[in-house]
Structure 1
């Protein structure tokens, strides 16, 4: 077995929620994934990040992985590296999920069973909240596109989705123009955002112009402001690949752990 095959099988195993607890409990697998973060092959790095992202579905898993030696440092190194943008965005997302205190909850967590909480909180009192209606927000794939688009906008602090009603609530720095958000969503080519406003007790959709000129767009983007305290509890199931039977699941996990144990020294 080589690094590519091992990390690919780990990713496939992690895509099944039934396997995630076993992977997190196996210290060899976690340590191996951390080492894969610094692999010279970007495909290996990306697959390792995708594996850890699957494991972040549970706050208990996040607590374990956050304290795994080298995990946070390696993610920080990827965020500051010259690798491809989507790999850095994935590392950023995982870093925020692992940094989020597991004991915090927001009203949306209590009231909406299908609501994705993505590092959102009220810790920053200077932030403003913008509610967007996202046309085309119909499935997990498009939600992922929307997440990546919003993560690219400097000044976005946090956001949370309400998939059944195609809503996205975004917390941003006070000087960030709402048009920057709608422009970022429009760049997905399959989604369109409108601001939701409350007028005389009724909700109305406000169409906003999208900034096409990149230089003008950059002017409205303040520096990125990280959130210090933020809960995360992903209440939606991650995209899963076809699950394997218990026998093959166990054998692949054992094989991967054996390979990692023989290849690396911790």
Structure 2
């Protein structure tokens, strides 16, 4: 049975091979998925995630991309200040934070970014990720209200919470306005949402969204109306290779496809 620890452990094995590190960071869903793992409650998952990122940071061109990933530096900084974690985790988080904070040569933005994904089984043109800062997200009760609100919005694919920073990363169809998410959350009467983006200086800022009732919100049927399977599946890339030393392909498909299915069907962990 695949779980968060098995997924990140296999990814760590991939990252330990130098030839895989560029491909992993270039992937559309892999790096955001690792950032989300930094908020996991299981210390073993946290340690495996940090070890994976440490491998990836050994390739210098990866550093600027990792540093600019939304939520990366904030999550690492939060880990370094937690007293409930082992020294192994906090020290590794501090080491990684220092590496990513160091000045590195600026590299051009990738023009041929890979379309296939490890963590979210959806193509870039059909889906996008939005990070929201949710005021009032202070307990599991408020999280439950937010879950119910998002599940009702037609076009929401998945979402993951980072309770420590009051954030929710939502995967949505590309044609769904972000304001629809804010309106659905505001309808709870106790929560409100702002979008988290980076400015030109690379700093995270909050953008207020139109949360008035005039914003149309398409509702789901009682069960989540996920994207059809044929729309979610990415085109098979025949020119993309990645090696692994500890896991082998079986008749049910590659491990990467299994990981994508696992995380696509998991709203949060």
Query: Common fold, TM-score beyond 0.5?
Result: no
* Larger-Rg structure: 1
For Structure 1 versus Structure 2, the TM-score category normalised by the shorter chain is 0.3 to 0.5
TM-score calculated relative to the size of structure 2? 0.43
TM-score calculated relative to the size of structure 1? 0.44
Richer in helix (by share): 1
